[in-house]
Amino acid sequence: MAKSRTAKRKKITKGKIILLVVIVLIIIAALVALWYFRPDVLNGIIASLTKDKGDDTTGTGGGQADNPYVTGDTLQMTVLDIGQGDCIYIAFPDGKNMIMDIGSEVGSTSPWQHANEFLQQKNVTQIDYLFITHGDYDHIREAKKLIENYEIKAFYMPLDKAQDSNTWLNLLDAARAEDYTDENGNKVDSQYNNNVGSYTISGENWEMKCYSFDEADYPTGTNAEKINAVSPICLLEYADRTIVLTGDANEMTEEYVLEKGYLNNIDTDILKVGHHGSKSSTTQAFLDKIDAEFAIISTSGTREEPHDDYTHPHPDLLARLDGYTDAVPDADYNGFRQIYITASDGDITVTIGENGGINITASEAADKNYGEVQVTAVFTDGEKVYAVCIKRGAYVVQE
Return d(Cα 107, Cα 196) in angstroms, integer. Answer: 31
Return d(Cα 76, Cα 145) in angstroms, integer. Answer: 24
Note the pLDDT tens digit of each residue in 164-196: 899 999 999 999 999 999 999 999 999 999 999
Backbone angles phi, psi at 137, to 5 degrees: -60, -35
Note the pLDDT tens digit of each residue in 285-343: 999 999 999 999 999 989 898 888 889 999 999 999 999 988 887 777 888 999 999 99
Q: Which residues contact 7 (CB under 8 A, 6 or more apart)?
A: none
Ordered by start, the domain boundaries in the chain are 2-60+374-391, 74-370
Global pTM exceeds 0.85: no
Residue from 332, 375, 359 nearest 58 by CA:
332
SS3 97: strand
Return d(Cα 132, Cα 195) in angstroms, integer. Answer: 9
Return d(Cα 237, Cα 96) in angstroms, integer. Answer: 15
Over residues 187-211, the mean pLDDT reads 97
Q: Is residue 88 over pLDDT 50?
A: yes
CATH architecture of 74-370: 4-Layer Sandwich (3.60)
| pLDDT for the residue 53 | 35
| pLDDT for the residue 36 | 57
Inter-CA distances, 145 with 111, 116, 133, 175, Å: 11, 10, 17, 11
Return d(Cα 297, Cα 312) in angstroms, integer. Answer: 9
Q: Is residue 133 over pLDDT 70?
A: yes
Percent of the chain with pLDDT over 70: 79
| pLDDT for the residue 379 | 59
Cβ count near 191 (within 10 Å): 14
